Structure 1
Amino acid sequence: MGATAGGIIAAALQSGGGWRPVFAFGAVATALLIPVVLWRLPESLDFMLTQRSPRALGRLNKLLAAMGEPAVQEMPRPIVPPGAGPRRPPGLKRILAPSLRRNTLLTWAGFFLVMFGFYFVTSWTPKLLVEAGMSAKEGITGGVLLNLGGIFGTALLGLLAARFALKNVLVAYTLATAALLALFVPAASVYGLVLALGALIGVFVNGCVAGLYALTPSIYGPDVRATGVGWGIGIGRIGAILSPLVAGRLLDAGWSPGQLFLLVAAVLVLGGLIVRSFRIDRDDPSDWTPVALATAAGGPA
């Protein structure tokens, strides 16, 4: 919804005063969010219990009160798995340690491939629709439908993930996006059909990115979660930068829109296979928050 509203506002501002008002609006909106986040957005329980700062106990009890849970008298101690060594500070070396290296590399590859496909679709679809024979207005309409489809795609992802394993839902989303991309350009001669396919692509391609954001935190323990997910998103942004550049080069080399969409479909299939290879331990011993809090509050563990 924010992406769609932002695009509408940006178009209105740019038509009246060029690009500068667009950047000014974005700067002001972001600045207004900073005090709201500092005031109202709490740290997660996992983070506070892991970092254990001097003010953590007060913040913890404030958050527990907001959740309707009893206060604790002291900071709970984490449950250390048998044979575990001392905790090391988070960092790149930590997420590339032997126990996490496989999932970390898969996370990087998954983010790179999915964001490569996502930014190709969002950046090039209007232009490639025109290349395939549609008018400029029709191409822009197809781009708008991609964003509108994303509103429903991410909401649908949340509903499905409440009933099925998120990893399996995400794999299905990547495969559905790939199939729709393969059908998209051949359907360009039928205006209504291509718009419907555009909306469906928006549903699934936006869900692919949202699903990765939701899935990858479960790969890491709370002490390295932000580091692991942050690096994954950063590697994904490299794919986002390369995607429109590669598409432009291939167009200059004589590739047709249909060939480009098939290439990105193959990239997303590979991304789905990467996601399918994630190893997620649902009984991670580092996930000690419920037991530790119950013990510290004097309740049953």
Structure 2
Amino acid sequence: MDDPATTTRSLRELLDGSPMTRFQWGAVAVCVLLNTLDGFDVVVMAFTGKSVSAYWGLSGAQLGALLSAGLIGMGVGSMFIAPWADRFGRRPIVLGCLAIAGAGMVLSAASQSALQLGALRAVTGLGIGGILATSNVISAEYASARWRGLAVSLNSTGYALGATLGGLLTAVLIGGFGWRSVFLVGGVATLLSIPLVWWRLPESLDFLLVRRPKGALERVNTMLGRMGHSPLTSLPARPDAPKGVGYRELLTARLRRNTLLLWVAFFGIMAGFYFVTSWTPTLLVEAGLSATAGITGGTLLNVGGMFGAALLGLLAARFALRQVLVGYLVVAAVLLAVFIASISSLALAFTVAALIGVVVNGCVAGLYALTPTIYEPAIRTTGVGTGLAIGRAGAVLAPSIAGALLDSGWTAERLYVVNGGVFVVTAVLLLLVRSGRAGATPVF
């Protein structure tokens, strides 16, 4: 390690080939906690929607706007806040975004009108969007090659866990203290996490080696020591990567193909995911099940999602991540195609719903894990953040498009089949993504 010929690439290869240490898993655990808080903060509007609507006498369209405000904020945060992590560091951006999200949640509890609440939901979304993109990158950068898929997938498991716990907590809080208490508890929990993150979340090693802020060598050696490696006498040679940060770099000749393919994949997977999670309870009822059965089917999607991301990560430790993700997409397409036909047997329908939850959540987790491996450190958060922003556009549009198609006479079965087709097309596109980080050969 003291060899002056050491390069950033050889150091990265050392970490990729070494066993994961407690320090590295600790960094991943903090990121999982961040995603758990984000899962609660994101779905809080859905859980409180009925109470908020009754409190201010909102129409369906007005409530829909409140539900969309957070997603729009998340897209903007992923697109315009997260990329600053490539310039100033992952850790400060996470801390700043926690402050934004926590303040937005606390102030939401005191909102005096639906318009104020919508604006504050957008502000909260800004922070959450920045956290989601940056925390996934940190997990990927601190994981070894073998466990990288699991490390990032656990973030999605944390998100699903936060959403599930949020639903349980909301039921208790609304009954005793009203809908405002749900926002207040979420905001306080988010703000209280800031000291823990300050204490336990390290700066990205890849960022320190590429951007080289003041004291980079000392900080790198501290982290190497905590991972059981020898210190460096000097920083290794810089990798052959862009020194600047910007969206334009994502569309240069060497990256254009991968970037465009990933953008389409993010749009397709997130659109499919939000169609399934948003419409399944309603479509099950329209297909002939009771309202209770419809809600149960929707709940099973979330329960399955808690296991799907972790399972994908474990599979990625044994097989190539991209092949695992493609397999998830194909299985998801098959399950979606047979879902509505399965409701003749309630037990079978619930089983298929849980399995759909496993695979569609795994698809999201897999794409989150794959994307950081495509971009080098100098533009990694920019690449992940823009992908997430494109995905948010799909998340916002898909439920509305599905509603319009239903109004025009489409059946639930046809919607699920088409959605499955989107997953198949996405699987094919991902097979065209060039593996490895940003090859130097032009791709278009």
1:12 aligns to what? 172
Asked if 1:253 corresponds to 2:413, the answer is: no
> 2:202 aligns to what SS in structure 1?
coil
Distance 2:281 2:251 in 1: 40
Counterpart of 2:235 in structure 1 is: 75
TM-score for both structures, normalised by structure 2: 0.61
After TM superposition, give the deviation of residue 208 of structure 1 in Å: 0.1
Matches within 5 A, 1:88-237: 88-237=243-392
Partner of 2:413: helix, strand, or coil? helix
Stretch deviating more after TM superposition (118-127 or 205-214): 118-127
Q: CA deviation at 1:17?
A: 4.2
> Is the contact made by 1:112 and 1:239 (CA closer than 8 Å) also made in structure 2?
yes
Partner of 1:292: none
Shift of 1:15: 4.0
Q: AA paired with 2:218?
A: G
Q: Partner of 2:271: helix, strand, or coil?
A: helix
Q: What amino acid does structure 2 have at the position aligned with 1:187?
A: S
| Unpaired runs of at least 5, structure 2 | 1-160
Radius of gyration: which is bigger? 1
Per the alignment, residue 32 of structure 1 pairs with 192
For residues 344 and 178 of structure 2, the distance between their equivalents in structure 1, rounded to whole angstroms, comes to: 34
Paired letter, 2:295: I
* 2: CA distance, partners of 1:129 / 1:87: 50
Equivalent-residue separation in structure 1 for 2:238 and 2:415 (angstroms): 50
The one-letter code sitting in structure 2 at the alignment partner of 1:50 is: V
Identity %: 54
Distance in 2 (alpha carbons) for counterparts of 1:10 and 1:264: 31
- Structure 2 CA distance for aligned equivalents of residues 120 and 140 of structure 1: 15
Pairwise CA distance, 1:282: 6.8
The one-letter amino acid paired with 2:225 is: A
Shift of 1:112: 0.4
Measure how far apart 1:283 and its partner are: 9.8
Partner Cα distance (2:244, 2:331) in 1: 40
Secondary structure in 2 matching 1:98 = coil
Residue 361 of structure 2 aligns with an amino acid whose one-letter code is N
Counterpart residue identity of residue 64, structure 1:
L
Structure with the higher helix share, 1 or 2: 2
1:87 Cα deviation (Å)?
3.2
Deviation at residue 187 of structure 1 after TM alignment:
1.0
How far apart, CA to CA, are the structure 2 residues paired with 1:267 and 1:12?
38
- CA distance change for structure 1 residues 79 and 232 in 2, over 3 Å: closer, same or farther? closer
Report Cα offsets for 1:78-113 as digits up to 9, x if no partner: 244xxxxx8341111111111101101111100000
| TM-score for the superposition, normalised by structure 1 | 0.88
CA contact (8 A) 1:88 1:94 kept: no
Aligned residues: 280
Over the aligned positions, Cα root-mean-square deviation in angstroms equals 1.7
Which of these residues, 196, 202, 211, is aligned with residue 42 of structure 1?
202
Deviation track 1:201-259 (CA, whole Å, cap 9, x = no partner) reads 01100000000000011111111111111101110110011111111111222221111
Greater relative contact order, per chain length (Cα 8 Å cut-off, separation 6+):
1
- Equivalent of 1:241, from 396, 402, 409? 396
2:435 matched to which residue of 1?
Answer: 280
- Structure 1 residue 60 displacement after superposition: 1.2
Unaligned runs of 5+ in 1: 81-85, 286-301
